[in-house]
Amino acid sequence: MSARAIDMAQGEARQAASLGLAAMPTALALVECATPAALRACSSRLLRDSLGLAWVECLFVEGSGRWLGRDDADVRLDCDDFRHPYAHAIRRGEPLDLSVAEARTRLDHPDFQAQVAALPGALRLQIRPLRALDGPREWLGALALAGEADTLAGLAADAEFAAFEALLCRLWARLARAQGERQRSAVLRDSLAKLNDGARRQSLADQLADDLLGDSAAMQRLRSQVIRAAETQLAVLLQGQTGTGKDCVARAIHRFSARAEGPFMAINCAAIPEALLESELFGHAKGAFSGADQAREGLIGQADGGTLFLDEIGDMPLALQAKLLRVLESGRYRPLGASDERCADLRLVAATHQPLRERIRDQRFRADLYYRLGQFPLSLPPLGERREDIAPLAQAFVADFCAREGRDEVGITPAALRQLRERDYPGNVRELKNLIDYACAMSPPGADLEASALPGEASEPVAEAHAAAPPTASARVDDLRQALRDFEAELIRQRLRYFDGNRALAAESLGVPKRTLAHKCRLLEVDAP
């Protein structure tokens, strides 16, 4: 409670004491309670000890107002269930008085019956509903008392008890409101923290856009997952088709992790002969084998404090898999020919394009290593599933080629972009980059990349002509809008070819303004011949 609320409560407690409650264990003990639950326990103890009652129970109404609960048990009593006396007292808004024997006969709620099972049937039972006295008159709970008939009968006219009950209700309401405010503040702080954390992660994911290009939903999701992975120390397993950029993702995880200042070591397990792979990874001592004239530290040791990236881990020999598993589990390894073990604190990122589950079934990959590597699995989307990213990727690759070759920056014609989007990419992003590099090399310096510069274009004009031909009644059309776009684009190309690229004449022949034709050429990605 606030200092002002405490002062008010203490004043009320002193007023209650002046009415005679000082004969009880001091009413000021109630003021010292910090929570509603502590207040309920304290009041029950004070009443039981001062009045000599056999049983005192203080129940609370939950926030919804529908349930009564007990602090000492995981029990909820429905306020509309009249099989227990608390519902009767709360609905009537006045105390309920009956004998324990009568309660056992008339009321059959199992939880209530369990409460009074040990009480003698001759005792009287009084249920007193409690509600806030200040502000909103919400229900607080119910006070259950069991004792001798004379004792309970005298409470109705007892000014001391009335003062005690009023003090209890006021303190209870204030503590409950203060507790509610604290809970709301905690929820607000938690919400703000999550909002700030989400904004921070989004900002980091946006920084990844220069390394992991693409605005598709798949790439946005991947960048978000990379940031999540980088925040942990879990081993990451990258799975995806060849050429999807697993090396770029591994470097991004390292760059945004707490190990960014440490080394990043990478090795392609499929590119190293089996006889040399163990030495590359674990290192070797001098004289460990023929030609080992000096000791050499392996990549595991070099990656201490940083990240080790194992590409194509599906091709790692089984014997090495067992040794790698031990490094992951204990952080200890032994170089070839060495007598002492060494320690390495590293984060492992592994990648493969192979179906590891199938290799496990074929007993070519260890299941325990697979589950240890896959603490944070990431699947990289193939380029065919994010074709909307082809245009920005192609433009970035053209800019990269021009920078590497010292050329002036050039663009890509709409026809070239259209052809790039229509291709299949078994090699994914790597294949697209190779296509762009080849086309740039085949294009004159300063000239935009044309569709004719792309490899394979010379062998496709017949197929393209058939594909662009107007649909016939017997042709299968799965997308009417696309079919109409294709027909319109082909008709405009034919007119432009007929008029040697003169858009004014082509527009006139089609009965549209020149500006409309220019807009359609941009929209349909039609180039002038």
Asked if residues 130 and 140 have their Cβ atoms less than 8 Å apart, the reply is yes
| DSSP letters for 324-353 | HHHHHHHSEE--BT-SS-EE---EEEEEES
CA–CA distance, 488 with 516 (Å, rounded to integer): 13
Angle between helix axes 514-524 and 503-510 (nearest 10 degrees) is 100
First to last CA, the chain: 82
338 CB-near residues (< 8 Å, 6+ apart): 283, 284, 285, 288
> Nearest CA to 128 among 174, 80, 86, 77?
86
Q: What is the pLDDT of residue 294?
A: 85
Instruction: Report the number of secondary-structure helices (H) and strands (E) in the chain.
Output: 22, 15
Q: What is the pLDDT of residue 382?
A: 94
Output the pTM of the full model.
0.55
Q: What is the pLDDT of residue 511?
A: 81
How many CB atoms lie under 10 A from the CB of residue 250? 24
Q: What is the pLDDT of residue 203?
A: 84
Beta-strand relationship, 307-311 and 376-379: unpaired
Ramachandran quadrant class, 152 (left: phi over 0; alpha: psi -120 to 50; beta: rest) = alpha
Considering only CA atoms, give the Rg of the chain: 40
Instruction: Give, for all 529 residues of the chain, the pLDDT tens digit.
Output: 455 555 555 555 555 444 444 444 456 788 888 899 999 999 999 999 888 999 999 999 987 778 899 988 888 899 889 999 999 998 889 999 999 999 998 898 999 999 999 999 999 999 999 998 876 678 899 999 999 999 999 888 888 888 889 889 989 988 888 887 777 777 667 666 655 667 777 888 888 888 899 889 999 999 999 999 999 999 999 999 999 999 999 999 999 999 999 999 999 998 888 878 988 999 888 877 777 778 889 999 999 999 999 999 999 999 899 999 999 998 899 888 888 889 999 999 999 988 899 999 999 999 999 999 999 999 999 999 999 999 999 999 999 999 999 998 899 999 899 999 988 899 999 999 999 999 999 898 888 999 888 887 433 333 333 334 444 444 456 677 788 888 888 888 888 887 778 888 888 788 888 888 888 888 888 876 5
Complete domains list, the chain, with CATH: 3-181 (3.30.450.40), 211-290+313-381 (3.40.50.300), 382-459 (1.10.8.60), 468-529 (1.10.10.60)
Beta-strand relationship, 296-297 and 376-379: unpaired
Q: What angle do CA 490, 492, 495 make, to 5 degrees?
A: 110
